[in-house]
Structure 1
């Protein structure tokens, strides 16, 4: 079976006072990374997973974090892991 790589870009909207704690909590989710956070509570987050199901599960985990108001998927890409080694 060929392994896949799934990359998702999200906008996470949170209570502004929860952002510092959420940045730490999100960093503990495997494959998750916070790239930017605004003072109003918006955060740009990426997820790198091995399946659509795992991406959705991690989005649900983000939604369940205290202080998170919403999680919106703005980008998703999937391809075979071997393709990531090909030169473009």
Structure 2
């Protein structure tokens, strides 16, 4: 069975005073990237994982960080890893 790649978009709700430290922690997570933030403590993050379980485990780890109020899955897409290597015409 071919390996799948799962791409998830999540919103991380934080206490505004801890936004920068949470961003630093998320930056340490492999294949996690913060794309946007606002002054109220919201972060838009993407995760690339090898499966749904790993996505949920990563979300739980982020949710457990001090100052994180919640994480919400907004989008998830899965496809075979080989599809990412195909040229788009």
> Which residue of 2 is the match for residue 34 of structure 1?
34
> Which residue of 2 is the match for residue 58 of structure 1?
58
Aligned length: 88
SS at match of 1:12: strand
> Which residue of 1 is the match for residue 14 of structure 2?
14
CA RMSD of aligned residues (A): 0.8
> Which residue of 2 is the match for residue 46 of structure 1?
46
Any gaps of 5 or more consecutive residues in structure 2? none
For residue 23 of structure 1, report the CA deviation from its aligned partner: 0.5
Deviation per CA, 1:25-57: give whole Å up to 9, x if none: 001111111111111000000000111110010
Any gaps of 5 or more consecutive residues in structure 1? none
The TM-score with structure 1 as length reference comes to 0.96
